[in-house]
Structure 1
Amino acid sequence: MTSEPIEAYGGISIPVEMLRDVAQQIEANGVPFHLDHNMSTPLRVRGFEAFVESRPDGFDELRFHAEIHEGDFHWLESRQGVSATIMAPLARDQNRVRNHGAAIRISADNAWFADDALIEAEEQLIARGVAREIIQVERAYQFSFVPDPQIFVDVVYPILLSIGASAIWDGAKKIFDQRRTPSSGDATAPTVVNVSIADGDRSLRAVVTTSDEAVAQRAIESLDQAVTAFFQSTPISPPEDNRKSITVWDDESGNWAPPA
């Protein structure tokens, strides 16, 4: 992540102050790492240290040191760097206080999905009975060479039990249907819908990758059973084996399953 202008997002750049804030937040809270922004392929790291350096060309750069688990190191051999995803307010919400207590957070990559789509998703959730004050909608910025068409939903388990996965899909569908292709984007790339469900210190991440709305609908609307089975099961040990808290939709079998 650097202060260079980002063409995919209309030439915006990140001030050095924000880079330093991100470094401090990462140092304080840690950060999950994933391969190529693919939530189904996490990287196991420890000893993480983030910092900002100035480059000879005048731009600032967020850098880090970390130890990569030996079982994951091969993923990095063919990759030149690591990118990051951050969330930011919609234009509508620039002067509002961020809702840190939101029980449902929905975001989508800003190059592929406009603010209006996120606002429509918010309104759809409200129409399904979700209180406005527990919803947070945000832009996602993927700081990589070419951002992917990704949608992110984070919801706490009790809320999912209350409203059902079909309500989550009703909101996500408003975004899925309004995808746009940026100038540097691949119009044939499938949309990735990431749904993270948390209950205390346990969480499950569900990922469906498709260009077909019907496939995405089948996947998300069938989440209730998979999520309930996960939270009623015995917690994974050791906890660092986080691949087991990820499930990927296989449309051919019609099931959620661990990533291959």
Structure 2
Amino acid sequence: MREDSQLAELRGQLAAQSEQIAAQQRRIDELEVKVAAVASRAEPKTVVIQAPAQPAAAAAATKPAVPAKDPRPHLKTVKLSPRMPRHDFNPVERAPRIPSTIALRDPDEQALASLDDVPVDAFIRAEVEADHSFASAVRELNDGQLASAEADLLAFVQKYPRHNAADNALYLAGLIRQNRGDCESAVPLFDRVPREYPAGDSVAPALLEKGRCLRMQQHAEEARRTLSRLLAEHPQAVEVTTARQILQSLEESQSGRP
């Protein structure tokens, strides 16, 4: 029952990551579209450069001056040409006929195979592979495969340390260790998040879980400093409420109140 409750708590903490995972999946789709666009053989498009619009002042200057009073128009003699002979036929009947059938054939196997040989930008390919790797590790975590998820998350950070989800991977790996009661090895992972990724969105959650672990390890003073740092540096974070509750509990324990 304890393992089930811990797993439920972990899944509850992961719920906050659901929005970023959805955004990550959308980014994967966008990158796949970029790969397809690079691989396609598009014909070069002709660029039509339009002349800049003539300024209103210049246009007004080029217009001929209109006389104050229009003169009467001169009358001209118009000579009518003789009536064109009439042709009694329907012009549609003499229109060229367009073939109404199209010959279908199977696609050329060699042409299809050549599409796979089109070089794709190495940077785009690396981004797609990294996104798929992170999504696969998170999927394992949601399925309860904690050991393999932890290994894949740490491998992801090692292989893609500059990826925008590297801080999330460190935080999730720390949560897995914290869930199995190994706070001693979880705290170093939580420490790496603000140290290596100070602008990441997992800094506040990592500080909260580090403070929680330190409290479980009976390191009250260090836990108090960590949680106070969270309140000072991230006052608008959703983790602030929980951090205040833990700090209040630490104060009550120190003063001896029940």
Would the TM-score normalized by the shorter structure come out above 0.5? no
- TM-score, normalised with respect to structure 2: 0.23
The TM-score normalised by the length of structure 1 is 0.23
The structure richer in strand per residue is 1
Greater share of helix residues, 1 or 2? 2
Q: Answer 1 or 2: higher relative contact order, Cα 8 Å, separation at least 6.
A: 1
